[in-house]
Structure 1
């Protein structure tokens, strides 16, 4: 059997054995067992997110290698490169040890030493096999090396994972990204990406080890029972990345780029509290997201009660939850309260402006109407028997009035519609030219 094949099989067996009893390895529902795993993790797994809020500053301290204290706990989480270039040596023999064999093993920091030859060593005790290992710093002294970003390759800092477990499990969060992951392998690193709405309320179900760069894997569940995760950097201890590398699309790999605490979200929404509980109606047809997350058409003059408004960081939009006063169904609409004067409503941009889309209250004329008549009015159609108020709700003010015999009037619209009224104001004939 070729050496490469043997190595892959040994790595797979070590992974299965470790994950079977390692409480730091957590998976979303649906992950499958795999005899031989093939990692789909990419360099993006090693990235993180933007500056965090007080939650991060108060709970997750950054430790440079110079500040590491004996007893700090790490897990070996090798990336593809680490499986080619070994990181650790066995302290008893001085021989290199395969990163695949140490995969998912827990290392306790035991300080640093210097050999008689002048090599600086970073020392660890592995709690899984009770053996000592060391990482030899490539060049220079420990003091020269420890201030850089490189740290010790493969090691994910478990101190952040432990704190995140204590603080986050069971908590409500809101999503701040639109792409998250679900596991596809129980014993490997396989995953697929899924789309998730912004500002979706989720509950933290599990916290475990993610990757070296993003050590904290946070598994959440939405209201439909769907589980997904993001691996994020908290303190950035030993992440191997600079702060300025957590930008653009990689910002989601910071906690604040993927999640927001519920209390922060609610506090940010307080400025919109005066709108909560208001009855409104749609002035124009629009689209909203229903309870199943599907975009559906909403007719004009549809009536709602505003249930909740949530802000969306970094945008001028809010996520408004509305409940139909007719059917009781719940919908979500992203709107802005910032009025941008866009000539001609280019690409429907004004349609998202709250003041343009919604009217206050419930239109008086809709009360007591049959469902058929209400539907016609919402669709902008008129029929024989309509009153002038009902025609006005359906078509607006006429473009022309024409007096006819016996005190009658005709309303003429530029779209070719003519409505003929009797003397007492009932439509007895409609025409369309």
Structure 2
């Protein structure tokens, strides 16, 4: 655990108000959703069940939470208001884990779970349940309360929660491969039977499945998406990078594509439609619509705060784009690019508008794949802005998207692993 990271007992989260970034209350916490893991590894906290003012209960992923402090939860932005539905691999803390009978590993005594604490992992946005507050002794009845010693122990200090090592359920398979990078997990899924592939995909959370889908061959993407419930499929598409989601949608029959777009958030659906309006192998077809966009009055400190976002790929975090408002693509007039290395060399109070590389010509949305590849090779870039004739920033193309479209269609299967070394040792798998 990170030194000094706050530990929060889940009982303190019950009924806590949830606010959006503007300070408006959107609901209250009703439960925590966790995923148990094999052996003694602490459960991962997937998100919160939030009850809106309409009494509808929705799921708020931990990746959409910017802070839990002073009796309140702060979300990062727009929430998905579809009704929460628990999945087979998920457990509810208040509903299923509290008041549960467990065994203390050290002494073999029985105990009742009274509370649990959660803590954020270092340098990540992941949260885990790390400790359990229990009362020793037999469980009392409604008419006879049994008093016993209370104590707080590490998660590994109790048994009765974690998944068993044996068994072939999707839960155990997911737990086994939890530490794999998305590209490596995609390789595992690709070689599973269609039935097992569908089971594992259904058990993955939306963000994880979105990351894995981006690394799968097109046929596997279509197969998996087609076996999900339509509302879940729309959620997963929203969690994918816009350019990858648009590529996948464009391969679906028109009727299916429109139905999924209608289930998506309006802003996300608009991005998808805009990307699909461009030819596939052009800058407009390859770009993401979610680069880092800053106004001219933003400072180096503002830029670095945005670059630190752990959800950004290294390529997108390599530079920020300065534009006149609006701040989201398509923007007002594009003014130039500020590179990450330049940001590190100037004081935090410096305006990014004074650090712009405005001599570098941006790509037009109609630029072809060879032109884009030549741009990256000539200027040693890992990302490039895409600007229309009116001077508005439309998005950014990253080098990984260019490589994906320049390699053979079957590169994921033929080039995924390094060739065997002369000594007979296998090389490391491809890492994204």
Q: TM-score, normalised by structure 2?
A: 0.25
- Structure with more contact order per residue of length (Cα contacts < 8 Å, sep ≥ 6): 1
Q: TM-score, normalised by structure 1?
A: 0.25
